[in-house]
Chains A and B, each alone.
Chain A
Amino acid sequence: MSHVSLSGIEFRYPGKGKSLAILRDFDLEIAPGEFVVMIGPSGCGKTTVLNLVAGFEFPSQGRVIVEGAEVRKPGADRAVIFQGDDSLLPWLTALENIELGPRIAGMARGERRKLAIEHLKLIGLEGQGHKRPSELSGGMKQRIQLARAMVCASRILLMDEPFGAIDALTRAALQDELAALWERTHPTVLFITHDITEAILLADRICVMTPGPDATIAEMIPVTLARPRDRSLPEFGTMYGRVHAALSKSHGQDARAASARP
């Protein structure tokens, strides 16, 4: 049985009369422990798909099923990692931010602090726990977001261009860390990006979107390269060409701008 299932999805913003459909006839099944990457340039509805699974928004038609039940609201079973640092609470320290989920769930102070410190170590920020987000770099802040999600032990991770605003070197490091982390605990991941390399590095399947409005899946490309994946192998390059071709076919001109090879 699939862990996350979207079927017959149509999405338009409510209350705007004859508004355009962002998504139409969209179907996606994600198996437990599977890493699915959605790729496509801005405006093709990938974030909308993630918001539907997260329970931030609801489809005009169709059903979003997570663990056998229809999604009605956000919840700690689906951790979300956002692109920017807006989602961290700026008045809390790194540790306090990581503790937020357990604190909301009502875990005792000492217990949740212990858990947060463990996860701080796990993301390689040991000793930085007392700092506030404004004192941390972009890469560190994304690590904090990751730890904050992991601390909840969610089986589903929803990541919306989490490394999109990070410099290339840090981004590469974060990608490798995420891949290693996923290997360890195998959560179900829906990951959004417009970076082909990132998609190939992480995905079990790459979901190439058609342009919006009326967006749907253009092509589903399985990535069978052995993990951990090496960006420099020829197979990686071959896969890059294949994803790029799929994107170009689906988007025409737009894809060239969106997929500049690093």
Chain B
Amino acid sequence: MTTTTAPTRNRNPRNGRGLPLIIYACSIAIFFVAWYAISARFAMPILFPGPGRTFAALVQLVEDGSLAEDIAASLARILAGFALGSILGLILGLLMGASRLIRFAVDPYVNFLRFISGIAWIPLATMWLGLGESSKIAVVAYVTVFAVAINTLAGYGAIPLARIRAARALGAGRRQLFFMVELPSCIHFALQGMRLAMAGAFLTVVAAEMIAATSGLGFLISSSRQFMATDTMFVGILTLGALGFAVDKAFLLVSWLTLGKYRLAR
């Protein structure tokens, strides 16, 4: 069925296996050098702390344990909201895929709400759910639901007709068709949606913590403003990036180990 495509450059992973790591390392080194060079040119170092000052702030935040606390607070909100949103999104996407009635009934809401940023709901969420954890988790779940639901639905649309027909010709009823064919066919797409949603969850939790929280990386960054603690802000910002990077890689690894076989289901 597949036609052979013309060879594209560097498709063979053996070509320069160590090269990506070297490029990675060089790229990061260049970043630090540039960071240092820019900070050295600032007349007021307090506005743009260099790597040294930032590292000192990092050491202090690590030593007094506050960074770990903030990471834990943000991560707990992200993961709780992400998990809740992913489950709801998966269910919603599957329902929309399996039932035309539900698809057309829900579609206008999904495509209306997904353009309303989770951040826009934060003030209302705090009024409805209070200043505690539930308002942040709710907003993170909100942004996750749509990405996961829409991707899951796309997965439904991508199921080859022959796959459905083959299962029906083997005697599969509606339930069996769903659990043996449709759901597994959508897993790969749902996972992709979750990966996209993770970035949205990070964005949203920071905004929520800046607006209404007393802990978390967003709070660390916004509260540092009062003391002109730009080095602490830098720590918060860089930690967010590193944390997102690590969580994404962990997500890829775990999903590969547990659901890897469904990745073949293109």
Binding site for B on A (CB under 8 A): 54-56, 73-76, 78-80, 82, 84-91, 100-101, 103-105, 132-134, 138, 148, 152, 158, 165
Contact = CB atoms under 8 A, between A and B. Distances in A.
B168 A138 contact: no
Contacts of A158: 169
Interface of B: 1, 160-163, 165-172, 176, 180-181, 184, 261-262, 264-266
B184 A91 contact: yes
Nearest to A54: B169
B264 A132 contact: yes
Given A74-B169, A90-B264, A138 B1 contact: yes
B166 A80 contact: yes
A147 to B, nearest CB: 12
A152 B170 contact: yes
Contact of B165 (A80, A85, A89): A80
B165 A74 contact: yes
Nearest to B259: A91
Contact of A104 (B1, B176, B264): B176
5 contacts: A91-B264, A134-B264, A138-B1, A158-B169, A165-B1
Contacts of A79: 169-170
Contacts of B168: 55-56, 73-74
Contacts of A86: 160-163
A84 B261 contact: no
Interface-centre pick from B160, B170, B262 (highest chain A CB count, 10 A): B170
Contact of B170 (A100, A138, A165): A100
A148 B172 CA distance: 14
B176 A89 contact: no
Contact of A91 (B162, B170, B261): B261
A13 to B, nearest CB: 14
B166 A82 contact: yes
B222 to A, nearest CB: 45
Given A55-B168, A75-B171, A78-B169, 7 more contacts: A84-B162, A88-B166, A89-B265, A100-B170, A132-B264, A134-B264, A165-B1
B193 to A, nearest CB: 18
Top 4 A-B pairs, shortest CB-CB distance:
A87-B166, A86-B160, A76-B171, A86-B162
Contacts of A165: 1
Contact of A87 (B165, B172, B176, B262): B165
A134 B170 CA distance: 21
Contact of B266 (A76, A90, A100): A90
A109 to B, nearest CB: 15
Interface-centre pick from B167, B169, B181, B262 (highest chain A CB count, 10 A): B169
A90 B265 contact: yes
Contacts of B176: 104
Nearest to B262: A91
A80 B161 CA distance: 13
B170 A148 contact: yes
A257 B61 CA distance: 77
B31 to A, nearest CB: 39
A88 B171 CA distance: 15
B170 A85 contact: no
A65 B25 CA distance: 70
